[in-house]
Amino acid sequence: MIGKASRRSWLIWSAAVFVYLLSVFHRTSFGVAGLEAAGRFHVGAAALGTFTVLQVGVYAAMQIPTGVLVDRYGPRRVLIAALLFLGLGQTLLALAHSYGPGLLARGVLGFGDAMTFVSVLRLVAAHFPARQYAVVASLTGAVGFVGNLAATVPLTLLLAGPGWTPTFLAAGLLTAVYSVVVALRVRDTPTGAAEPVRVDRRALLGQIASAWRVPGTRLGFWVHFTTAFGPNVLTLLWGVPYLVQGQGLPKATASAVLTVFVFGAMFGGPLLGGAIGRRPGLRMPLAGGYLGGAALVWAVLLGWPGTVPVAVLVPAFAFLSLGGPASMIGFALARDYNPLRRVGTATGVVNVGGFLATTIAALAVGVLLQATGGDFRLALLAVVGVLALGTGQVLRWWRRARLALFEAQARGEQVPVRIRRRRWDAPVPEPAPAPRAA
């Protein structure tokens, strides 16, 4: 591993992270275009939710294959393919006038989106020292939220001005053209292209299984599952409908309120990344603090009598926006507890978590809205249910990951973080006695 990141490494990261910015823009564009899409494709709440469920479902399903592709072919090639799929998907969406082609377009977008973040994190792992990984990963997430910002008020104004087809067509074409920049500027490692990792199918499945067996990977999966999905559900689809139809806000005001998620993540990400980069032992206490606070925020929003004031919505959304930065803890766990040759696969495993939870919650909210006649208070209880499920699993695997660390320390192995035993920790099994010579 390199001792210090060079200026060239930062330039390579800058070129690559812009791909992630574009992917977040395309991913979240439906969050403000949802009402226009309902009119354009003549669909209701449940069918509208299917657009996001399909895109996010494709994204989640592609995370492990993407991690394997990154380890096999290198992140540069995968990023180029991602840009071409993103451009194609947004172009198809621009030209779609019915439900079926629209679904196809979002599926293609999900396929391209799935290839971006894992690729960028793999570049970070190769070009930056381990002590900077959490900071640069958090910066990556923060830059991605600039794409989210572009998909709020600016996109709302473009849809109201030039309209659906010109806006999405231009976005698709510009995205595909950027693949030329990536081909010229990005390198897989500080020395150039990564050596292809040739593995057969059995070895490939073994690599995935090896990453999944690591308690740190499993903990990272559930941390990402539980922290990332709440902001995703609101920014990807249900935020504007909740604020407009459920809270009675004008659409422009609703879009402006959603920018709280962008600024909260942009400023919170680097702060959290810097903190856990200096003190890795803070990772899980910070994740646990976020989960407890998120439960309280949802209790306030759903238990508030009548319409929730904007003065309450803004700080509530500001806290929930920290879920994106908190989800980076999952990737730091995957980076620390897996060898570099398997980091892409482990990162893909972790990244499945938040988007699997987003798929479940977004679909459940749409179905409940349809069943209750548009009652957002009842429909958003699905988010609380998923939050409770994930929190229970985080606590379970946190305890198991701590036990694995204590066992490694007892064997005299090097561990990424040294922790002190607590009363609630599981006892470390006694090592088996060595066989006696006959």
Partnered with residue 192 across adjacent β-strands are 189
In a domain, 427, yes or no: no
In this predicted structure, the answer to whether residue 266 has a pLDDT above a threshold of 80 is no
Calpha distance 270→247 (Å, rounded): 32
pLDDT on residue 299: 96
Q: Report yes or no on 134 lying in a domain.
A: yes
For residue 395, what is the domain's CATH number?
1.20.1250.20
Q: What is the mean pLDDT of residues 233-244?
A: 85
The answer to whether position 52 is within a domain reads yes
Whether the predicted pLDDT of 30 surpasses 60: yes
Task: Give the residue-averaged pLDDT of 43-72.
Answer: 79
436 φ/ψ sector (left φ>0, alpha ψ -120 to 50, else beta): beta
pLDDT at 198 over 80: no
Determine the pLDDT at residue 77.
92
Identify which has the larger pLDDT, 409 or 194.
409
State the Cα–Cα distance between residues 109 and 391, nearest whole angstrom.
Answer: 30
- CA dist., res. 207 & res. 70, Å (int): 13
Q: Is residue 314 part of a domain?
A: yes
Mean pLDDT of 278-287: 84
What is the count of structural domains for the chain?
1
Whole-prediction pTM value? 0.73
Q: What is the C-alpha separation between 312 and 417, in angstroms, rounded? A: 38
Q: Confidence band (pLDDT; 50, 70, 90) for 1?
A: very low
Q: Which domain covers residue 396, as residue numbers?
A: 7-191+207-410
| Cβ–Cβ < 8 Å for 273, 137 | yes
Does pLDDT of 48 surpass 80? no
Q: What percent of the chain has pLDDT over 70?
A: 87
3-class SS of residue 415 = coil
To which H or E segment does residue 224 belong? helix 215-233
CA distance 149 to 145: 6
- Give the separation between CA 397 and CA 352, rounded to whole angstroms: 16
How sure is the predictor about 338, in pLDDT bands with cuts at 50, 70 and 90? Answer: confident
Q: Average of pLDDT values for 227-237?
A: 87
Residue 35 belongs to a domain: yes
DSSP-H helix ranges across 115-150: 116-127, 130-150
Rounded percentage of the chain residues whose pLDDT exceeds 90: 31
Paired tokens of 405: 């660390």
Of the candidates 273, 216, 4, 16, the one whose C-alpha atom is nearest the C-alpha of residue 127 is 4
The string of DSSP letters for 154-207 reads HHHHHHHTT-HHHHHHHHHHHHHHTHHHHHHH--SBTTBSPPP----HHHHHHH
- Is residue 38 within 8 A of residue 114, CB to CB? The reply is no
Determine the average pLDDT of the residues in 309-333: 91
What backbone phi and psi angles, to 5 degrees, belong to 192? 130, -140
What pLDDT was estimated at residue 33? 77
pLDDT confidence of residue 71: 78
Angle at 187 between CA 182 and CA 192, to 5 degrees: 150
| Domain assignment of residue 1, yes or no | no
Q: What is the pLDDT of residues 414-432, one digit of tens each?
A: 656 666 666 666 666 665 5
Q: Is residue 438 part of a domain?
A: no
Q: Would you say residue 433 has pLDDT above 60?
A: no
436 in any annotated domain: no
